[in-house]
Amino acid sequence: MAIKRVGAIALTVAEWIGVVVFVLVLLVVLVVAILLGWVGDPPPDLGTRGQAAAAAVPTVDRKPPKPSAEEAASLFAPVYEVLVSPRCMNCHPDGDRPLSDTGVHAMNVSRTSFNSGLACSTCHAEHNTEFPGGPPGPPGAPHWQLPPEQTPMVFQNRTVTALCKQLRDPAQNGERTLADLLDHVEKDPLVLWGWNPGGDRTPPPISHAAFVTHMRAWVDAGGICPGEKVAPVLGPEAETDTDTGTTGG
Ligand code: HEC
Ligand code: HEC
């Protein structure tokens, strides 16, 4: 009787040991499988990761319209070349989303992000935050933001003539005179950032000093645009001038 009992208990212990060993082996196989990334290839219709990433980036036509011969020879042409360079155009997009060199800004960031609690300054500091060799981090400069909704100051998809006329128009440039515009491109931290962009980003095609020189020449010529023989009178004086013209005639 006693021997029979011992036998029965021994069997139970052996069974338990068996169960524990079985579970342990299963666990080890699972862990090894996970560590080896034993997940197989995705079904063909899901595509590879590269294809998915490429499909997720909306195509953006950031190539500026080809200038006419007259436009290319104008005083504004070298200024235009800087304005449509990526460092400037990325923040002066034709739409609500800032651009990146590969498409539009990642993470669905737009002019309206602030309304949903995501300010640009959440990620963009007052200086570049990348370290050499690191991944492309958020670049930074004081008051990093997009131009306001009322005057979006679009540089993308504008011809030389269109951008020239838009830039000098106080109703579209934030009520700036030509002198204010010159001051802005000389001193604004967002403009200066373009020549210290961090990461692998290419600066605009000419130096900041050369850019300011071309801008000054354009301003001194009254903001003349391609197709014009004389520069128009701009700002509040424009109305006064028209008034004098009609009443004093
Ligand atoms: C981080 C975004 C950002 C970048 C980068 C940027 N800008 Fe701007 N830009 C702005 C904002 C915002 C304003 C409006 C500021 C205001 O009204 O006070 C502006 C206004 C301007 C204006 C004034 C008037 C107008 O109609 O456009 C000029 C000129 C200008 N930027 C030129 C440049 C140039 C040149 C570069 C590149 C070297 C550049 N910007 C890069 C955000 C940016
Ligand atoms: C959630 C974080 C985050 C927010 C919020 C954010 N950004 Fe960015 N932004 C980044 C990162 C990261 C990069 C760098 C990506 C790269 O260069 O590939 C970047 C890059 C950019 C660039 C490209 C600069 C260049 O010329 O290469 C622009 C322009 C820009 N951001 C504008 C903005 C504006 C304007 C806002 C607010 C409306 C904003 N970002 C909000 C993270 C953010």
Which one is predicted more confidently, 134 or 79?
A: 79
CB 146 near ligand 2, within 6 Å: yes
At residue 15, does pLDDT exceed 90? no
What's the whole-number average pLDDT of the chain?
84
Q: How far is the CA of 240 from the centre of ligand 2 (A)?
A: 43
Indicate whether this model's pTM tops 0.85.
Answer: no
Query: Which residue, judged by its Cα, is nearest atom 36 of ligand 1?
Result: 88
21 or 81: which carries more pLDDT confidence? 81
Ligand approaching nearest to the C-alpha of 90: 2
Q: Comparing 42 with 138, which gets the higher pLDDT? A: 138
- Ligand 2 test: best mutation among 120, 127, 190, 201, most atoms within 8 Å of CB? 120
Model confidence over 157-188: pLDDT tens digits? 999 999 999 999 999 999 999 999 999 999 99
Closest ligand by atom to 169 CA: 1
pLDDT, residue 207, reads 98
Handedness of CA 31, 37, 40, 44 (dihedral sign): positive
Q: Which of 24-38, 91-105, 126-140 has the lowest average pLDDT?
A: 24-38
